[in-house]
């Protein structure tokens, strides 16, 4: 399950506005690669929406089926707003339906099949 925890108004390069829903998954325990200590977190992702702003406001708190998956990417720098620390990440998060999550976990990558 994921929950809509907010929305964000974004301006495109051409000046048009569009809305992103901010989705959050369930609580999970994670071990810090730096300290080795456990902490709790929840994955969050922003997903484009075709709703107007009033609709986005009205669905905050709504829950629906799906999950937020960690997806490998090329390395990139990311600034942690709260601390100002710059870190290098090799992943991003994306929302997927439960069916898509099962398929991604079960299907073998073509490059691995001989």
pTM of the model: 0.75
pLDDT, the chain, mean: 87
DSSP letter string over the chain?
A: -EEEEEEEEEE-TTS-EEEEEEEEEEEEEEE-TTT--EEEEEEEEEEEE-S-HHHHHHTTT-EES-EEEEEEEEEEEEE-TTT--EEEEEEEEEEE-HHHHHHHHHSPPGGG--
pLDDT in tens, 40-90: 999 999 999 999 999 999 999 999 999 998 888 999 998 888 888 888 889
């Amino acid at each position: 399950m994921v929950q809509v925890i907010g929305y964000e108004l974004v301006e495109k390069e051409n000046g048009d506005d569009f809305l992103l829903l901010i989705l959050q998954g369930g609580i999970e325990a994670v071990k810090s690669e730096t300290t080795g200590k456990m902490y709790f977190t929840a994955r969050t992702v922003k997903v484009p929406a075709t709703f107007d702003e009033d609709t986005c406001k009205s669905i905050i708190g709504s829950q629906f089926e799906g999950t937020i998956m960690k997806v490998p990417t090329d390395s990139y720098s990311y600034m942690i707003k709260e601390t100002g620390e710059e870190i290098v990440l090799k992943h991003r998060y994306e929302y997927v339906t439960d069916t898509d999550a099962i398929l991604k976990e079960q299907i073998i990558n073509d490059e691995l099949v001989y």
